[in-house]
Structure 1
Amino acid sequence: MSMKMSWLARVSVCVAVALSPVLASPALANGPAKAAHETKSKQTRVETQVSQRDLQCLAEALYFEARGEGSQGQRAVAEVILNRVDHPRFPKTVCGVVNQRGQFTYNKNARIREKGTYARVHKIAQAALSGAPRTLTNGATYFHTGRVKPSWSRRFERTTRIGSHIFYRSDRRLAVN
């Protein structure tokens, strides 16, 4: 066997070995249509891995804290809650953040009366928990309505105002004189 043929044979074996797990994949076994279905199925599985309890907590918080806002304002409030989940000073779950004492003002036992509004915030909560980009609040971990001025608002960096809510980031404390 010539040197070229020997090299080509070795490369072919290496390629075959490298591709064997891909070729043996059930997704490719039945052609591209099956592969596309498998990919879509995997995406759906990722979306359904969202904790139903966290989804309910986030949807209720959005309903009671921001139901009068547009969808952008509701997404911004969802960002704050998820930013808190990721922050070391807050609980590590959505329900933990939402139920943290003294943080959210709504009555946790209140009834949801506007079913259409709840359906809308539920979709926003699902999208947020499924990994929607968090680009509205610039990392905010606090917010309040413009009708009040809590004492803590002077200590944190204001990031933006969306609708009737003002958002703050807590990782940069401001000097208070």
Structure 2
Amino acid sequence: MKRKMRNRRQPYEVNWTLRSLFAAGVMSLCAVASAMSVTVNANRAEAVRQEKLALEKEAELVADFANYLAAETAATREALDGPRLKPAKSTSEIVSAMDPIAALASFDFTELNAAKIDADERRCLAQAIYYEARSEPRIGQLAVADVVLNRVASRLYPNSICEVVFQGSERRTGCQFSFTCDGSMQARLNKRKWSGSEELAGAILAGLRSPVSRNATHYHANYVTPYWSASLTPTATIGMHKFYRFPSKRAVAAAPAAM
């Protein structure tokens, strides 16, 4: 009789053991879930912080550009409100007072070449703006143009806009601006955006330039990470592009191949 009672108690003892193991397992799962939740919240907080920093940088750049435009507007208004000079002579008055033969003999035909060069430079800058940043806001287009002009001013690059923009385009690899060798220029132009790019290029060459890229000589789209970005100093993030400059003015190495 005693043996039968002992056998009856055994299942209950096994059940208590299983319950203890199950409870321990549940507690372990809760601990893991809690740790995962803490990690997710930390990552989310870091992402929010990075986004806030990016917005602050963008706002700072926009403020710089707004101040620049305000100063230009004030200077223009001051010039318009200043003392007026006497009216200029009309073209017909000037022509009638000149000797056509003497004027033709003394005309400097190099001025025509200079005008052509200016038109070519404007077109090359407009192409860089259009193909690299036509979908960007105006400040993003100004930043791309600023990079082109910073390269023209640098001794590491050619000294004209067209030479800078089309540097390396004669090779299958090594073009500095990808649109010059990837077939982008074969596509039909968006007339409205191309006209806007030409107007902006003309305005920049006429003096409406703001250093929004902060002396950058390189940039890339924010969805790629080119090998050369780690060796340069970040200067700004504007729209879909990240901008960089050489770490110091002493940099003499050749520029990275492509942007």
Please say whether Structure 1 and Structure 2 have the same fold, judged by a TM-score greater than 0.5: yes
- Per-residue deviation, 1:113: 2.1
1:104 corresponds, among 165, 177, 196, to 177
How far apart in 2 are the matches of 1:91 and 1:108? 23
How far apart in 1 are the matches of 2:236 and 2:202? 24
- Per-residue deviation, 1:108: 6.4
Map Cα deviations across residues 24-82 of structure 1 (whole Å, 9 max, x no partner): xxxxxxx83326x9xxxxxxxxxx96700011111111111111101110011000000
Structure having greater relative contact order (Cα 8 Å, sep ≥ 6): 1
**Larger strand proportion, structure 1 or 2?**
1
Q: 1:119 aligned to 2:195?
A: yes
Is the Cα–Cα contact under 8 Å of residues 140 and 169 in structure 1 kept in the other structure? yes
- Per-residue deviation, 1:112: 4.1
Comparing 100-109 with 111-120, greater Cα deviation is found at 100-109
How far apart in 1 are the matches of 2:221 and 2:230? 14
Q: Tell me which residue corresponds to 1:147.
A: 223
Is the Cα–Cα contact under 8 Å of residues 112 and 118 in structure 1 kept in the other structure? no
Q: Tell me which residue corresponds to 1:95.
A: 162
- Counterpart residue identity of residue 34, structure 1: P
- Counterpart residue identity of residue 79, structure 1: D
1:55 corresponds, among 122, 125, 133, to 122
Structure 1 residues 94 and 112 mapped into 2: Cα distance closer, same or farther (>3 Å)? Answer: farther
Q: Tell me which residue corresponds to 1:158.
A: 234
- Per-residue deviation, 1:109: 3.8
**Larger helix proportion, structure 1 or 2?**
2
Q: 1:83 aligned to 2:136?
A: no
From the CA coordinates, give the structure whose radius of gyration is larger.
2
SS of the residue aligned with 1:134?
coil
Q: 1:66 aligned to 2:66?
A: no
Structure 1 runs (4+) deviating above 3 angstroms are none
Query: Which runs of 5 or more residues in structure 2 are unaligned?
Result: 1-83, 91-113, 169-174, 252-259
Structure 1 residues 57 and 151 mapped into 2: Cα distance closer, same or farther (>3 Å)? Answer: same
Is the Cα–Cα contact under 8 Å of residues 129 and 141 in structure 2 kept in the other structure? yes
Q: What is the total number of aligned residue pairs between the two structures?
A: 133
Q: What is the alpha-carbon root mean square deviation over aligned residues? A: 2.4
